[in-house]
Structure 1
Amino acid sequence: MCGIWATFGVDGGLSATCIKCFSSIVHRGPDAWRIEQDAREPLAIFGFQRLTIVDSLHGMQPMRLHAFPRTTLICNGEIYNCKRLQKQHDFPYETKCDVEAIIHSYHKFGIADTVKNLDGVFAFCLVDGEKRKIYIARDPYGVRPLFKLHDLDNDVLAICSEAKGLIGLKQKASKKSTLGQFPPGHFEVWSMLDSGKVQLDYTEQYYKPGLAPRFVPFVPEEELEKLNVYEKTAYLLEAACKKRLMADRRIGCLLSGGLDSSLVTALVVKLAKEIKLPYKIQTFAIGMGDSPDLVAARTVAEYLGTEHHEIQFDEKDVKDALDNVIYHLESFDITTIRASLPMYLLSKYIKNNTDTTVIFSGEGADEVAQGYIYFRDAPSPAAGHEESVRLLSDIYLYDGLRADRTVSAFSLELRVPFLDIQFTHHYLSLDPKLRQPQDGVEKHLLRSSFDKSGLLPDSILWRHKEAFSDGVASIKKSLFTIIAEIIEERYKDENDNFEGVIPKTTESRYYRTVFEKSFPGQHNFTPYYWMPKWVQVSDPSARFIKHYAAK
């Protein structure tokens, strides 16, 4: 989890505004930083905030190799097939840093084949000084964040891991400037002009949810041929966890006690024993009072024998964190903010009280495996499949955004096995009927794939779906009720006129007002409110859906 930042064509060079913008993402990489202006391209500035996960400072960025001195790379990511690429193509690596594979791949294949051959998560900017080209790319599901500022009047380009690193430049740009997220599964090619300015050549989408990997897969197809659907599902999820153990820092797991985080934790614990990690896996659960999540997570931790941490939070913690969460999220979505509060507080605890830096999480399972309760109301298997694809296409705006921002706020690294390309291709290619909820049980296929495996107690494997923002609080008083009471004390509804998606409740207007203080006019960051489909509800909480059965 690092922070990247770059500008091209900005007059005035490394100004005070640039320094302030770059400094605003220091939380993404507190171990080391570098900002530099290229003497050969005076209007090109590169910045990097480093969180050391693999390799020492030999992997510091901006990265330039002896073999390609005019190529510059800044990247936030993990390339899980870096060693496989080296072996397949005899790349002469100069560092132990996994992202070096991007430079070698680019010079051997070009940018289009490079992004298709990367098995990992990434957001990068690569500059070829000889060809005077700039390449920007983001991983298939947008696990790693990337924002882009384009000033059309002044031929200026700027990129950053978070919008807060660009908002100061946006305020000084022309009225034709645009700031927003760079879309997942895309890359862009830009030309550097003789004037030092830039222009866009073209944009290409190289991936859509469910497509097969273009790279040589981590699990060879011949290993899967004799497995049935359930065995293959379990095998590929375990493989997705295994490849993500690549780290020189301590690994831990977020554990809510729900199916997704419990499965990931169980697999990580199993694999950690197999590769003989020199420490116990730490697990982290958070809740208020008699939270059902705390009880379930405790059961899982005891069953797996992890070094478990149980964190209690109260209404004061929510009051203190609420505005900070909105700032870090760069979103005003209701569901995202509610669910982010406990994850933000949990990440704060991990940073301040442990030496765990790499965090495994269950994000993506609900989107891939039709885990949301409203999937029971899908009018057809095909409609359920289409909704999964839609959710995965937009996950970078909602749950993916939440997961990244809440952990990166405290300099932690996120790993999400359920968004593995080989796994998602397998799962989404199965018969849509098989992937639907069965007999009132969501993610039935996923649960069945681990039935009788002994990885988890049956009470956890078949536990009812519980939304995270609901499960952390008591059934008697949900977190959104507590938030509503805080906002009622804090906010006077002024009936502001908002552009874009219109907030209709006091809670949503408060979120939007706080958001606008840091990101004025950027309503495009949240194109719509996340809401369940096929059901008539006025609030996104799962508690209002008729099928809700969690206790």
Structure 2
Amino acid sequence: MCGIWAVFGSDENVSVQCNAVHRITHRGPDAFRIENINHLQNACLGFHRLAIVDDVRGMQPMRLYTHPYIWLVYNGEIYNHKLLDKEFDLSLSTDVDGEPMIHLYHSHGAEFMAKHLDGVFAFCILDVVNRKVILGRDTYGVRPLFRFQTEQGFLAVCSEAKGLFGLSHSMSDDEVKMEPFPPGHVEIYDLDSQGRAFLKERVCFNKPGQFPMYKTLVSSYSADIKKNVATLLEAAVDKRLMAERRIGCLLSGGLDSSLVAALLVKLAKKRGLGYPLQTFAIGMEGATDLVAARKVAKHLGTEHHEVLMTPEEGLEAIDDVIYHLETYDITTIRASVGMYLLSKYIKQKTNTTVILSGEGSDELAQGYIYFHKAPSAEDADKETHRLLNDLYMYDVLRGDRTTSAWGLEIRVPFLDHQFTSYYLSLKPELRQPIDGIEKHLLRSAFDEAELLPNEILWRPKEAFSDGISSVKRSWFEMIQDYCKEQINDSTLSEAASLYPHNPPKSKEALYYRQVFEKHYPHKSHWIPYFWMPRWSTAEDPSARTLKHYKQ
């Protein structure tokens, strides 16, 4: 997890603008560098580093003696960097996983390069000879990227939107349209004689379900679908062990995090990592997740850390959580509080830096309870693709921001490119809930692997924002009670006219919106809608309000 920042075509004092890069210091606490580009006096690249691979030569902006005119800043992990070296005879000079990006861009261009990267990434390349800037982001937007461009040719880029505020003196922050960079895309900008940037081309190089262009670790599939699912998920976990820092795992006790933890333990023993694997769970007194996570950790033999949070701690953290998330979505905020406090514990109490987690499984494998109400397998398939396309604004955003806020790096095997493309290629009927059990295919793929106890492998879905509290009194009910004290009825009645885009309909939603607007005024367009279950009359996103959960 790192933080990247760049400006091009600035008509302001670049040395003053560079101060904005320090708003993302949390993403890279190990080192910092900022470079004014000699050939372009009005351009600057900034980088905050979290050192995971090649501690000596991994600093950015990155340049190579063989291609000194290409500058690279990126945030991410390229898991196939060694395979790319063999396939294209790149003659890599470092162990930095991002180095192939420079070689492939030089020899084959931006789109070809992006299509051949197996990993998660957000990058900015400056080509001073050809006077181009290239931006790109991975298929699911696992690594974040924001940017804005003015008609006058000023382009600004940052891992988080907070690093872009106050950069353009000719326009107020209210007027500047900062936007998340679209996942699976590459943008190419031309630089004019004054170094101003103008968009030339935007290309979608990959989308959910599209098979990868690069050579994969699993080269062929068997006739046994369940075997393929298990093999591909294990390979996804295996490649995410690429690190020179200690690796651990978030563990809620649900299917997704438990499977990842079990595979991590299996592979760690095979590789001989040399340290006990740590698992981490958080919850309040009586939390269902704590009980389940304890069973899994005992079964796997991990060094388990259990963090007990109070409602007061959770409520107090909401303001900071919204600042880091850069969203006002209700269910995202609810689920982020526990993850944010757990990440704080990991940073302050342990030396684990790389964290594996189960994000992406519910969207890919139809794990949400409301999928039981899908009218047809085809409708469920369409919903799966919609969720995956928008994932970068919701669960993926939660995973990135709550961990990066404390200088940790999250890795999400369920969003592995090869695994997702194979899973989505299967018939919709195989991927929908079967016999009243969501994620039936995923569960059955590991039914005979003896990785987990059956009571965990077949445990019904429990949303993280619900599982951190007891069944008797849910976390969302505690928040709602608190918000009733913060917001009066008359203020809520005016909310729709004050906030016409995604108008708040509850005191909780209005409270979140007020905090968001305090930090990011007039940026509500960053999310198109509130996350809500489909095919349901529920007025709240919590799964505990759905009939199937109560049954």
| Residue 155 of structure 1: aligned partner | 153
Contact 1:292 1:474 in 2 (8 A): yes
Q: How does 1:269-288 map to 2 (within 5 A)?
A: 269-288=265-284
Task: Give the distance between the partners of 1:301 and 1:322, measured in 2 at CA.
Answer: 29
| Residue 200 of structure 1: aligned partner | 199
Task: Give the distance between the partners of 1:194 and 1:68, measured in 2 at CA.
Answer: 22
Q: How does 1:14-413 map to 2 (within 5 A)?
A: 14-19=14-19, 21-152=20-151, 154-169=152-167, 173=171, 177-221=176-220, 224-225=221-222, 227-413=223-409
For residues 14-41 of structure 1, what are the alpha-carbon distances to aligned partners after superposition, in whole Å with 9 as ceiling and x for unaligned?
Answer: 243431x100000000000001211210
**Deviation at residue 91 of structure 1 after TM alignment:** 0.9
Instruction: Tell me the secondary structure at the aligned position of residue 395 of structure 1.
Output: helix
**Deviation at residue 196 of structure 1 after TM alignment:** 1.9
Q: What's the TM-score, normalizing by structure 2? A: 0.97
**Deviation at residue 305 of structure 1 after TM alignment:** 0.1
| Residue 500 of structure 1: aligned partner | 501
| Residue 12 of structure 1: aligned partner | 12
Q: What's the TM-score, normalizing by structure 1? A: 0.97
The letter of the residue matching 2:154 is V
Contact 1:147 1:163 in 2 (8 A): yes
Contact 1:499 1:523 in 2 (8 A): no
The letter of the residue matching 1:124 is F
**Deviation at residue 217 of structure 1 after TM alignment:** 1.1
The letter of the residue matching 1:16 is V
Contact 1:28 1:409 in 2 (8 A): yes
Task: Give the distance between the partners of 2:235 and 2:196, measured in 1 at CA.
Answer: 45
Task: Give the distance between the partners of 1:170 and 1:520, measured in 2 at CA.
Answer: 16
Instruction: Tell me the secondary structure at the aligned position of residue 549 of structure 2.
Output: coil
For residues 55-100 of structure 1, what are the alpha-carbon distances to aligned partners after superposition, in whole Å with 9 as ceiling and x for unaligned?
Answer: 1141100001000111000000100000000111111212211011
For residues 167-217 of structure 1, what are the alpha-carbon distances to aligned partners after superposition, in whole Å with 9 as ceiling and x for unaligned?
Answer: 222675367632010000001000011022111101111111111111111
**Deviation at residue 108 of structure 1 after TM alignment:** 1.6
| Residue 542 of structure 2: aligned partner | 541
Residue 531 in structure 1 maps to residue 529 in structure 2:
no
The letter of the residue matching 2:130 is K
| Residue 441 of structure 1: aligned partner | 437
Distance 1:458 1:549, change over 3 A: farther
Distance 1:176 1:288, change over 3 A: closer
Contact 1:470 1:479 in 2 (8 A): yes
The letter of the residue matching 1:429 is S
Count of aligned residue pairs for this structure pair = 545
Contact 2:364 2:384 in 1 (8 A): yes
**Deviation at residue 481 of structure 1 after TM alignment:** 0.9
Which of 439, 450, 454 lines up with 1:454 in the alignment? Answer: 450
Contact 1:170 1:179 in 2 (8 A): no
The percentage of aligned residue pairs carrying the same residue is: 55
Contact 1:151 1:176 in 2 (8 A): no
**Deviation at residue 280 of structure 1 after TM alignment:** 1.0
For residues 441-464 of structure 1, what are the alpha-carbon distances to aligned partners after superposition, in whole Å with 9 as ceiling and x for unaligned?
Answer: 000000000002100000000001
Structure 2, unmatched stretches of 5+, are none
**Deviation at residue 544 of structure 1 after TM alignment:** 1.2
Distance 1:544 1:275, change over 3 A: same
| Residue 463 of structure 2: aligned partner | 467
Structure 1, unmatched stretches of 5+, are none
Instruction: Tell me the secondary structure at the aligned position of residue 327 of structure 2.
Output: coil
**Deviation at residue 545 of structure 1 after TM alignment:** 1.1
Instruction: Tell me the secondary structure at the aligned position of residue 63 of structure 1.
Output: coil
**Deviation at residue 486 of structure 1 after TM alignment:** 2.1
Instruction: Tell me the secondary structure at the aligned position of residue 508 of structure 2.
Output: helix
Task: Give the distance between the partners of 1:2 and 1:57, measured in 2 at CA.
Answer: 16
Task: Give the distance between the partners of 2:529 and 2:170, measured in 1 at CA.
Answer: 27
The letter of the residue matching 1:421 is H
Instruction: Tell me the secondary structure at the aligned position of residue 548 of structure 2.
Output: coil
Instruction: Tell me the secondary structure at the aligned position of residue 95 of structure 1.
Output: coil
Distance 1:170 1:284, change over 3 A: farther
The letter of the residue matching 1:197 is R
Instruction: Tell me how large the CA RMSD over aligned residues is.
Output: 1.2
**Deviation at residue 277 of structure 1 after TM alignment:** 0.5
Contact 1:149 1:170 in 2 (8 A): no
Instruction: Tell me the secondary structure at the aligned position of residue 97 of structure 2.
Output: coil
For residues 468-519 of structure 1, what are the alpha-carbon distances to aligned partners after superposition, in whole Å with 9 as ceiling and x for unaligned?
Answer: 1001101111001111122223344633401321111111011111001111
Instruction: Tell me the secondary structure at the aligned position of residue 59 of structure 1.
Output: coil
Instruction: Tell me the secondary structure at the aligned position of residue 178 of structure 2.
Output: strand
For residues 421-452 of structure 1, what are the alpha-carbon distances to aligned partners after superposition, in whole Å with 9 as ceiling and x for unaligned?
Answer: 11001111111101110111000000000002
**Deviation at residue 549 of structure 1 after TM alignment:** 4.5
Instruction: Tell me the secondary structure at the aligned position of residue 514 of structure 1.
Output: helix
